[in-house]
Amino acid sequence: MKIVDLIRRDMVLPDLTADTKHGVIRELATHLAERHGKLKVEDLSRVLIDREELASTAIGEGVAVPHGKMRAVDGIVACLGRSRRGVDFGAMDGQPTHLFFVMVAPESSTGAHLKALARISRVFKDSHFRRRLLEASDGETMYEIMAQEDAKY
């Protein structure tokens, strides 16, 4: 499974403005819902926040992978956001989070959902990859960096 199989070019937000965990989730949920006809902002925000309240999805090193399952989607839907200043997302390493890869899968999905989470976690562990995303000038460049990373595997 490739990251570019999960995310479209228009699903990259290079300049998040929110400065809180719930604000970031709301901003990303709004972007996803506006571009996916079956999703409602309130429902998506609630699913992501409910999951976040179980345990932070911040995996450290400036990365979080907020995720959840919803009946409203037929396949995995994803969005990448970047906060240049960083947000306290409750990461175990105590560092601010800059990169947010949101993923929503169908309620019936288990295998594909877990494979996607594993792939995202593995790719985002690469410090060079993260640095390139943080330094990218715009969303299009961020998407291209993800596509280049995918080509390695």
Annotated active-site residue 22? The verdict is no
Neighbours of 103 (CB within 10 A): 23
Element containing residue 65 per DSSP (H, E): none
**What pairing do the DSSP bridges indicate for beta strands 97-106 and 63-64?**
parallel
- Residue from 67, 98, 113, 128 carrying the catalytic annotation: 67
Is 56 in contact with 97 (CB distance < 8 Å)?
no
Q: How many CA atoms lie within 13 A of 100 on its CB side?
A: 43
Tell me the angle at which helices 21-35 and 41-54 cross, rounded to the nearest 10 degrees: 140
- For the annotated catalytic residues, the residue numbers are 67
